[in-house]
Structure 1
Amino acid sequence: MAAHSKPGGIMSMLLTAFVLLQAVVAFQHGANHNHKHVAHRSADSMEKHFQETRALLEERANNIAIKGAPDGQYPRLEIRDLKKKTDQWNLYLLAMERFMAKDKNDRMSYYQIAGVHGRPFITWNNFGPLLNSAGFCPHANTLFGPWHRPYLAVYEQAVYQCAKEVIATFPSSQQQRWNNALVGLRVPFFDWARDPPSGEPAVPTAIRDQTVTVTKPSGQVSIKNPLYSYTWGNSLPSEMGWGPKNGFPTTIRRPVDNPTRSNNNEMNALFGQARVGWRQRVFALFASKKSWGYASTSQYGVQTARRNSDSFEAIHDEIHGTAGGTDGHMSYLDVAAFDPIFWLHHVNVDRLLAMYQLIVPNTYVANGNINRPMAQWNQGEGKNGNSPLKPFTKDTSGNYFTSNDVKETRALGYYYPETSSRTYKQVVDAVNNLYRKSGESTLTRKRADGEYIPIYPGRAFKDGDYDTVLSVVGDKYAMPGSYQVHCFLGKPSDNSTTNGTAPYVNGTTPAAPSSNSSSYSAPGDYGFPSNYVGSHAFMGGSVAGGNSSTPVIVEGCIPLTAALQGKEASGELASLHPDDVEPYLKQHLYYKVIGPNGAEFAPESIPNFHVKVKSCPVTPAGDDELPTFDDYVELPRVSLPASAPWTYVPGPLDTLPSGVPGYEVPSPSEGAPVSYPTGAAPMPWDEEGYCVSRQTIEYVDPAGNMLYSEES
């Protein structure tokens, strides 16, 4: 708390001076009236007035000044790299333990900060009464990326402060060691798309072990791993209102019963085989080079021309769904932030978005409208880069961050290893090294019968290649919780346990897997058949509809390219050209939709659900550049359930057209009224706290030479 002692002292002096002034004014006011009025200014009334005034000022000045960790600009590291820094890793774990143990009434406790995202649907940081019974997180919205940036910063700030408190518990003779470890301590990220170090699992054991050994003042001890789960205690607090598994009071991942517990081993296995597709999705997005505002959000109506089916938010949803399973906390927006893996995941999403900023400079937040009632916004409100990111305040006076305030991550005290030099080339090199193709010669998935099945890891693009995806469009809140689309390549007639079985015949109602197939180990466990390609999750909340009066339409994709490259390598497919791919997929492509509790749904029965196969030509590039992806076009002959022709009709909550006066500029002209069409939604500048700012970010090389500047 020492870092805040001076502001606190100044505040006390200001409070005293203000209250003394109030007392003088009150006394003078009384002196100008008769004795009866003066009598009302008794010592008790003066004390009461003093306390009321003090409380009012403290409330106004008691907003959290979100700065992130306060010791300068340092990199956030991948969790496996942070673990190599033994003392800093130890301090991070102890800080997390302390953070989670803080009283839930403390605004900087894990309980309250996690609760900002969704439940318990209570106010935070003097925001005031909630506008709607909902959380603050703007998913499927243009503010998805920038809103989470100060959110992660206040989380990081809390962890850093807890680390300082932990150091104070050590003997004075040991504190210097831990103070050294504190320098540059930042929360880590988990890069779920990159290949893990040789011999290591897909999901680090540091996230999956129930206990961990740490050094405390008493020496080495074993504690509950704060990255494994968070617990509310013996029961879920009533204010939470709802929780997976009938209010199970500890966060769980891909839960199993008898007793209720996490299945972290299954999560690890699924992450291991899924990263082939996740890597393709990340790489294709970077290669698309579309506007940052379009690449960041899955909200369908934001884009008028969709060059790529995917977005970083859509991939984010898939990770949530795979980690949580059909009834784990990560699969529900309401409660996902309580699972510690949420933060490791979101720091990685922030990292990818920060990297992408350097690929497409001078693009940023797109205009958009709020598409569902939220804690701080009503449905239909317009937002842009100057909109306040409520409830995150940048000072104690209550001024909110805007997206433009946090465009440069160093403003919050951090950067990433891939953005340390702020150069396009550094990011391109990292994307090519991490995501272009697997560094492993072989990948395998373990089937339920114990047999290991090879997975084709993908290869770099070459001349004549195409990228092919299964585009999936749906209502984000069609079901209570997440629902996941699982994709397969396999013939229905192939019933061998070696090659797996196709889930169902094209065009028919989905059927459960054959009971005599050993490819499946549990209901809803579709990650293990050898013909499995990948999945995409629509991450929803605990209540279908998401409190929205209209469907919240989003889009994502399931990459087919690596699987098709494998078929080409085996001689089953002549090339990746649509002339060869389209008839092959017409015969071999299948999918299933699995919803809450592992239930299977006929695709045609899901409102606003649509699929189509898309393909685009790829122009390869060398190691120092990214390939070029042209526009995706539909392969219409691949007939699937819910693949009938469909055209999206923009609705009233989509981005307003450019013809709306003033909407394409940051704010109306000074003093000039803006006329809106009859019935138009509130414009961004109508919101209290809207703040227009102009920033110029200058990028320099390590020698300080100017590279380029970026306006916002």
Structure 2
Amino acid sequence: MRIDRVKPTIMGDSLPPEDGTYGIKGLPRPPNAVRYPGKIPYVKGLPVRKEISSLANSDDPKERKQWTLFVLALERFKSMPVDDKLSYFQIAGIHGYPEVAWDGAPEPKHAPEKKTKKAGDQPFGGYCNHNSLNFPAWHRPYMLLFEQRVWENMKLIINDWTSEHGLPISETDEWYTAAKHWRMPYWDWARRQRYHEELVCPPVLTQGAVRIYPPATIKNQFPRSGLYPNPLLEFENPEKDPKTGKPLPFGSMPGNKAKWNIQDNPIVHDELPLKKDCDWAPWSKTSATSRYGIFKGEEEEKDPAKYFTGLEGVNNCGKANASLARVHENGPDDKPRWSTMDQHSKDHTWNPGSLSDAVNRMFSKGYNPNWGQFASTKWIAEGKGCPKTGYISLEYIHNNIHNLTGGSDYATGMGHMSDVPVAAFDPIFWLHHVQIDRLLAVWQCLNPKLWFDNGQSGDSDTAGMTASSVTDDKETDPLEPFHKKDNDPEKEVWTAQACRDWTELNYQYDDLAEVAERTIRKYGRFISGEFQRELRSHIDTIYPGTGHLIESMETSSNTPDGLRPSQHQNGLWKDYIINVVYDRYALDGLSYTIQFFIGGPPGEDTTNFEKHNYVGHVYSFGGRQSTSEGSCRNCKRQAEAQVLSCAQVTLTIHLLHRIRDYVPDHSFEGVEEYLRRYLWWRVVKYGGEVVSEEGFKRKFSKLQISVLRGTGRIKPCNAQSAGSISSLYSDYVPLPEVTYGKPGGLRLDKVPENSEPFISQNKSAVQPLPTRLPQKAKSVTTKLHIRSKTACGQEAEAMKFSPTQSKAR
């Protein structure tokens, strides 16, 4: 069914003068809002940001009004001309392209105009902060700006209804009230949702049309079906071809608006046809955003506009759904590989998914003991204050979601969300980043004293130490180009310290408010410590992790003997992780993916790089490939100082799947021997080309990959809600036998005897993927034992993580 777009009425916005600043203040604070005392922010009566599916499917009359206004206001916002400072186009452009100064702030980072490369040149342009301690803080006023602009468009729509279409004053007041209590929704991509039985992506992000509920008196202004074109699906260029009326390509704006042209990535690239080693993204040729929608055409075609397909905006929801399913509780084929938590079977074990597991670990006590490790992918050298677990950062998870929702391979389709310069043009960007801000708020509630490493644990000699001499961001650094006041001659900008308390920005999150209210009902008042306990229980419930799977297996009579711990060892297991230290600028800033796989043909010591063997990936989200002097000072400084990034892929859930579900690829002689034989990885450039052996030697000498074994245990003696299982992780030691002889792998001869974390790589002889196992790698004893203390102080032997013989089903 075709649904024609209703052209929004464009009324003149009340804007500050062109040379005056636009103040980002947040939406109005209700007069009855009451702040509870304490270090943890909670304001009773303050409006909340809701999960997108909850808002879209609500039966509540006020929330239906809010949803309707959100849909209409977002569409109106997107239709504003590109040369309007407060347009969707320009606000999205703050993140990257078109790299034009915004709101009187200093010029942003600039793109290359020539091929001559200089050491330390930026990987992308724009104002955005990545691989830095200000990454979460910079995006907070950015989301506030977007929220404020949507709300201002809501008011204009209601004004139009009243003045132009005769909406009664009584109804006008109801709609204004709904607008005042609306806040920007978020997409919780890690939490299990009702729609996950069939989809991983929310239906509201895949449907061509959504249902709205306009006032009855003006329903004739909208489609009779009640369906309205979905503004969350894409963003198309508001500038139209005067002859055809179709959106112009983003790189072909009208003559008087040419400064807003979007360019390709990289800007300077070879002519068509594309060579395997010089893929580039044709963003200038696109007229709308895509998700897994842009493909290469016939090689003999010379015209880029004809060579690529999907330039007009294509959303391949099936591909996006399948990619997200690989890290969710569904299997790699977009089908449930394991049963749901409530539907155990004798052949299947519930799989919480590696994405949920990563979020669970990120919030686990002690996993990220300081701000730097939580906030950023920027690598911090290990020490007593920086444990080996601290590689799962908010930014790392964020990077992977950008890749999974957009697409970075021409074989499966490319999309804007996967590339820094153009990511913010896709409407899903804003829902994703409000979720990132929500997770930041959760972290702040659980760790109110940890802020830019103030009050962090660890020795002063090691805490906060980085891999270079680059000075870390400070909480007082300006977050440009976000101004605090209208028409401010001083042009005061937001800082991380100024936006630390999100309730002062007049919003909070639905589940945080619910946990606070539950705490107040339970104890009669708001007690910070009790709120934190309730919040941890809430997080452990909605984001199940490895501990949940271990618990479900211990209560199942179908658990293989080799995995079931003896009676006095319940809740204790050997945990396996991959730590990755990588150079974000290895390809001059162009993004790349490190993909990890386990398994291959039966009886062969090889691993197939197939989706059913996939266990996780690291996405650099580097942005654009750049070569000019006018570059981002932060990126240039980091590249010159060889600042590295870090990430972590968890293995235990995938190993349990192979053991518990009897994957018929290899026999299990021991977990570590199995990993030594069958854990492999590859590096894939943006566009889909696999990095060759020679390319790896030239570009990836700094890549450092290590596998570690630690102890996971379920925290006992804790009053928890149903489904809440809190896990603790500790005592990780490197297993050099697993990675020795593999590209970028930890060297066997460089691990100290005390097994303290130490990462080294043979830079002189990076070896390709061998056809046979390296002879020097020694085999590991199958039944490894750990002695550890339980939470109650009793010494116990860890479960023997020695799997049974695999069976073909």
TM-score strictly above 0.5 = yes
Map of 1:569 onto structure 2: 660
2:650 aligns with 559
CA positional deviation for 1:483: 1.6
After TM superposition, give the deviation of residue 486 of structure 1 in Å. 2.2
In the other structure, the counterpart of 1:228 is: 233
Structure 2 residue 225 is matched with structure 1 residue 211: no
Deviations 1:258-285 (A, max 9, x none): 7413322110122123121111111111
| Cα distance in structure 1, aligned partners of 2:436 and 2:424 | 14
**Distance change >3 Å, CA 220–CA 437, structure 1 → 2:** farther
Counterpart pick for 1:634 among 734, 738, 742? 734
- Aligned equivalent of 1:332, options 419, 422, 430: 419
The question of 1:107 aligning with 2:66 is answered no
- The answer on 1:240 being equivalent to 2:262 is yes
Q: Encode CA deviations 1:192-221: one digit per residue, 9 max, x unaligned.
A: 111121545211121122333435543442
1:274 aligns with 2:327: yes
1:579 deviation in Å?
11
1:485 aligns with 2:566: no
Q: What is the match of residue 283 of structure 1? A: 360
Confirm whether residue 77 of structure 1 aligns to residue 91 of structure 2. no
Aligned to 1:341: 428
Find the partner of 1:255 among 285, 293, 312: 293
Give distance in 2, aligned partners of 1:250 and 1:590.
37
User: What are the residue-to-residue correspondences of 1:348-497 with 2, within 5 Å?
Assistant: 348-366=435-453, 383-396=473-486, 397=488, 398-420=491-513, 421=516, 423-437=531-545, 463-479=571-587, 481-493=590-602
**TM-score computed with the length of structure 2 as normaliser:** 0.61
Is 1:296 equivalent to 2:386 in the alignment?
no
Contact 1:253 / 1:323 at 8 angstroms: preserved in 2?
yes
Structure 1 residue 555: Cα displacement = 1.0
2:446 maps to a residue whose letter is I
User: Which one-letter code corresponds to 2:362 in the other structure?
Assistant: L
- The superposition leaves residues 60-89 of structure 1 with CA deviations (integer Å, 9 ceiling, x where unpaired) of xx2222112224431111111111232221
For residues 419 and 600 of structure 1, the distance between their equivalents in structure 2, rounded to whole angstroms, comes to: 43
CA change 1:489–1:558 in 2 (3 A) is same
Amino acid paired to 1:241 = Q
1:272–1:196 Cα change, 3 Å: farther
Q: Could you tell me how far 1:291 is from its partner in structure 2?
A: 1.5
Shift of 1:186: 1.0
2: CA distance between counterparts of 1:466 and 1:334?
A: 41
State the 1:432 CA deviation: 0.9
The 3 A distance-change label for structure 1 pair 71 and 95 is farther
Contact 1:481 1:541 in 2 (8 A): yes
- Structure 2 SS opposite 1:613: strand
- Using the TM superposition, give the Cα deviation of residue 290 of structure 1 relative to its aligned residue in structure 2, in angstroms: 1.3
- The alpha carbon displacement at 1:643 in A equals 0.3
Deviation of 1:391 (Å): 1.6
Alpha-carbon separation, structure 1, partners of 2:564 and 2:292: 31
Contact residue 703 and residue 744 of structure 2 kept, 8 A: yes
* Contact 2:577–2:709 (CA under 8 A) maintained in structure 1: yes
Q: Which amino acid in structure 1 is aligned with residue 738 of structure 2?
A: V
Q: C-alpha displacement at 1:130, in angstroms?
A: 4.0
Equivalent in 691, 702, 706 of residue 612 of structure 1: 706
Partner of 1:63: 21
Distance 1:440 1:98 in 2: 45
Deviations 1:618-656 (A, max 9, x none): 23114637322215321111123220338669xxxxxxx
Whether the 8 Å contact between 2:607 and 2:678 is mirrored in structure 1 is no
Q: Which amino acid aligns with 1:272?
A: A
Post-superposition, which runs of at least 4 consecutive aligned residues in structure 1 deviate over 6 A? 367-372, 438-441, 458-461
Deviation readout 1:488-512 (Å, 9 max, x if unpaired) = 22134479xxxxx9655xxxxxxxx
Q: 1:370 to 1:286 in 2, by over 3 A?
A: closer
Give the letter aligned to residue 530 of structure 1: H
Asked if 1 retains the 8 angstrom alpha-carbon contact of 2:581 and 2:647, the reply is yes
Question: How far apart are residue 598 of structure 1 and its match?
Answer: 1.2
SS at match of 1:630: strand
Alignment partner of 1:549 is 2:549: no
Q: Distance in 1 between matches of 2:564 and 2:318?
A: 28
2:187 pairs with 1:190: yes
Specify whether residues 641 and 131 from structure 1 end up closer, same or farther in structure 2 by C-alpha distance, changes over 3 A only. Answer: closer
Cα distance, 1:184 vs. partner? 1.6
Aligned 8 A contact 1:436 1:459 in 2: no
Paired residues of 2:133 and 2:472 also in contact (CA < 8 A): no
Rounded Cα–Cα distance in structure 2 between residues aligned with 1:125 and 1:277: 41
Matching residue of 1:172:
167
Number of aligned positions between the proteins: 541
Contact 1:302 1:366 in 2 (8 A): no
1:4 alignment partner in structure 2: none
The 1:202/1:494 distance shift into structure 2, 3 A limit, reads: farther
Q: Is the 8 A contact 1:482 1:540 kept in 2?
A: yes
CA contact 1:331–1:540 (8 Å) conserved in 2: no
Letter in 2 for 1:291: N
Give the direction of change, closer, same or farther, for the CA distance of 1:204–1:178 in structure 2 (3 Å limit). same
Q: Distance in 2 between matches of 1:302 and 1:150?
A: 30
Structure 1 distance, partners of 2:703, 2:402, is 20
Provide Cα deviations, 1:510-556, integer angstroms capped at 9, x if missing partner.
xxx6xxxxxxxxxxxx5xx3322222211111215865435442111
3-state SS in 2 of match to 1:598: coil
Paired AA for residue 743 in structure 2: P
CA separation of 1:381 and 1:127: change in aligned 2, threshold 3 A: farther
Unaligned runs of 5+ in 2: 1-13, 31-45, 112-124, 238-246, 252-257, 266-280, 298-308, 329-352, 409-413, 455-463, 517-527, 550-562, 628-634, 751-757, 761-809
Deviations 1:4-53 (A, max 9, x none): xxx99xx9xxxxxxxxxxxxxxxxxxxxxxxxxxxxxxxxxxxxxxxxxx
Deviation at 1:388, TM superposition (A): 2.0
SS at match of 1:427: helix
Give 3-state SS (helix, strand or coil) of 2:94's partner.
Answer: helix
Query: What does residue 535 of structure 1 align with?
Result: 617
CA contact (8 A) 2:470 2:643 kept: no
Q: Which moved more, 1:562-571 or 1:199-208?
A: 562-571
Counterpart secondary structure, 2:97: coil
Kindly state the Cα deviation for residue 256 of structure 1 after the two structures are TM-superposed: 4.0
- C-alpha separation in 1, matches of 2:504 and 2:615: 41
Structure 1 unmatched ranges of 5 or more = 1-6, 12-54, 373-378, 442-457, 496-500, 505-512, 514-525, 650-712
**SS at 1:268's partner residue?**
helix
Distance 1:644 1:269 in 2: 32
- What is the letter of the counterpart of residue 235 of structure 1? P
In 1, distance between residues paired with 2:211 and 2:511? 31
State percent identity of aligned pairs.
27
Q: Which residue of 1 aligns with 2:40?
A: none
- The structural deviation recorded for 1:295 is 0.8
The answer to whether the 8 Å contact 2:578/2:706 transfers is yes
The answer on whether the counterparts of 2:380 and 2:467 sit within 8 Å (CA) in structure 1 is no
Distance 1:629 1:494 in 2: 34
Q: Hey, what's the Cα distance between the residues in 1 that align with 2:467 and 2:70? A: 38
Letter in 1 for 2:397: I
Distance 1:283 1:463 in 2: 16
Task: State the distance in 2 between where 1:333 and 1:206 align.
Answer: 24
- What TM-score do you get using the length of structure 1 for normalisation? 0.69
The structure with the greater share of residues assigned to helix is 1
